[in-house]
A = this chain, B = another copy of it.
Amino acid sequence: MTRFAFTIEFDGAPYMGLQRQSHGPSVQQSIEEAVAAITGEDARIHAAGRTDTGVHALAMRAHVDVEKDIDAFRLMEGVNAKLRPEPIAVTHCEVVPDDWHARFSCIGRSYVYRIVNRRAPLTLDRGKAWQVAKPLDHEAMHEAARHLVGRHDFTTFRSVHCQAQSPLKTLDRLDVEREGEEIRIHAAARSFLHHQVRSMVGCLTLVGLGRWEPDEVRRALEARERQALGLNAPPDGLYFVEAKYE
């Protein structure tokens, strides 16, 4: 048996998320079917994180165990050929030790959220960013984000469907930067709750619009209840960008 680690890029729009679902297409199902077609074996992938319907990945990590004698390059090429024309690609593949686990060995996850702040509808970026028509004060958003960095009970920013045992998480980074009409929000933590990034982005956007004072984000956090959430940002702008390992 050989364990292979994949780096995976995908456009999340056509999928019900990364994780296999009984009621619709998933990134996991497509990759597992492609691996099975190449190896002739049942394939099961384990990914560093889960992503929701419509959420994208630039460099998700996942592993798969293969009995067949095949090298990493040929496995990657074969899987990519089988995946066509789906918008999923394995951009890197390597052999890893048998005890390396894409999810349990992962010590850090990063996301970026893209907002296009302009009146005009999106064209080339449709489905790949959140268009916000009214002007956003990105400096106020960045200031508000300071309240969320650190170790907190993130119940306010957690989906009712979240399966994590504890709402306590340590947010290592939440930075808001603007380049022209685009605002990018960078988030990093060891792990996140379900919907946490989109919930945080939603509240920061209320601050950017002037509907919340930066300090109201702190109060929402301290309320520790979902009803205190101002707004959940749509999935279109969210990208999983990095999984870190020792």
Taking Cβ atoms with an 8 Å cutoff, the residues of A that contact B are: 9-11, 56, 58, 76-77, 80, 83-84, 87-91, 118-124, 126, 128
The answer to whether A76 touches B11 (Cβ under 8 A) is no
Cβ contact within 8 Å between B9 and A89 = no
Q: How far is the CB of A136 from chain B (nearest CB, A)?
A: 17
Bound CA span A128–B90, Å: 19
Which residue of B is nearest A58, CB measured? Answer: B124
Given A76-B119, A119-B76, A119-B77, answer yes or no on A124-B84 (Cβ-Cβ < 8 Å): no
Contacting residue for A89 out of B58, B76, B77, B121, CB 8 A: B121
A89 touches B120 (CB 8 A): yes
Given contact pairs A76-B119, A77-B119, A119-B77, A124 touches B91 in the complex (Cβ within 8 A):
no
A–B Cβ pairs within 8 angstroms, 10 of them: A9-B120, A56-B124, A76-B119, A76-B120, A77-B119, A80-B119, A80-B120, A87-B122, A87-B126, A89-B121
Q: Which 10 A-B pairs have the closest CB atoms?
A: A89-B120, A87-B123, A91-B120, A11-B124, A11-B123, A89-B121, A9-B123, A89-B123, A10-B123, A80-B121
Given A77-B119, A119-B77, A87 contacting B124 (CB threshold 8 A): yes
- Provide the bound-state CA to CA distance between A9 and B181, in Å: 14
Complexed CA–CA distance, A46 and B11 (Å): 35
CA distance A131 to B122 in the complex (A): 24
Measured between alpha carbons, how far is A91 from B120 in the docked complex, in Å?
A: 5
Query: Which chain B residues border A122 with CB–CB below 8 Å?
Result: 87, 89
**Complex interface: chain B residues within 8 A of A121 (CB):** 80, 83-84, 89
The contact of A126 among B11, B83, B118, B120, by CB within 8 Å, is: B11
Report how far A77 CA is from B119 CA in the complex, Å: 8
User: Which residues of the other chain, B, contact A126 by a CB distance below 8 angstroms?
Assistant: 11, 87
